[in-house]
Amino acid sequence: MNTSANRSTPLNLPNPPVMLAPLAGITDLPFRKLVSKFGAGRVVSEMVASQELLSSRPGTREKAELGAEVENTAVQLAGRDPEWMAEAARQVADMGAKIIDINMGCPAKKVTSGYSGSALMRDLDHALKLIDAVVEAVNLPVTLKTRLGWDENLLNAPELAVRAEQAGVQQIVIHGRTRCQFYKGAADWSAIGRVKNAVNIPVIANGDITDAQTARNALDQSGADGVMIGRGAQGRPWVLAEVAHGIYGDQSAIGAPDVPSGADLCDLVSGHFEDMLAFYGCPLGGRVARKHLGWYMDFAQTPAALRREVLTADPSVVLSLLPLALQQHQEAA
């Protein structure tokens, strides 16, 4: 086993073991803060490309985006070169990171074509070089997020997990699909169980977990130690708290959330929108916010014509439209 693993800070499973997955362009700092207000065991930053981090000089907003200093935040790094990954790990550690997560699960072509993300599952020897480099570079807990394998003919997540544990990785998140599935079909939670049975460190189930029932099913079928929710939180930043309370009840450090509706939902969405404008500036914040506004209106079942009006409006007008799109519509329903 890597000797650096013995000097790394031990990583405890969060209470509750319900975590927010990193989603590029979605789980930015304003959204992670909102999810954390309702309650989450841990949140993970959007994937940071190690080479890009090192080749640029992050400004104030880019540094803030990592949320490195926030206690329940892990900073996720991706890359293909051990030296870049090690130096990027040291840099985010200097920024105050508490946990570093290695991305070996992103299926996007622009990532895998650069021999990063889930492409690393096709070469476990190289994947382990990256893991060794990060674990040796920092005195922080290192975790790993990956998939079942590259495709149905290469389901090597258990082998990767064993080798990662030996290298000093302290937790593994498994998305229950292969890379070649992308997000099609259903997540295979039972296959995650093969990873759980192969290692002694915590294994977290990810994929198609949208509420307490699907979380319970994922835990039952996989034997995992916790769950990670990604797309299920879109437009529902309170869902992690709902799942935590539904699964763990009084054993969770999070109480049952008050799911907002009517005026409360309008206040929440308005606050999130204003936070995004403040963080990104206008008009970038308005463009980035559109996907979130769309998900909120999906939840509120806003009529299509009104939905289009909100999504095409100038940011200065959006706030005046939200009461009609969210509050008045829900109250009328």
Q: Considering the candidates 106, 180, 266, 282, report the single residue annotated as catalytic.
A: 106
Which residue is it, tokens 């994922």?
218
Token pair recorded at residue 107: 């299926």
Angle, CA 20 vertex, CA 50 and CA 100 arms, to 5°: 35
Residues flagged as binding site:
76, 145, 175, 230-231
Instruction: Clarify whether 266 is annotated catalytic.
Output: no
CB 252 within 8 A of CB 244: yes
Residues flagged as binding site for FMN:
76, 145, 175, 230-231
Would you tell me the crossing angle of helices 315-322 and 262-280 to the nearest 10 degrees? 170
Contacts of 195 (CB under 8 A, 6+ apart): 157, 158, 161, 172, 174, 203
Catalytic residues: 106
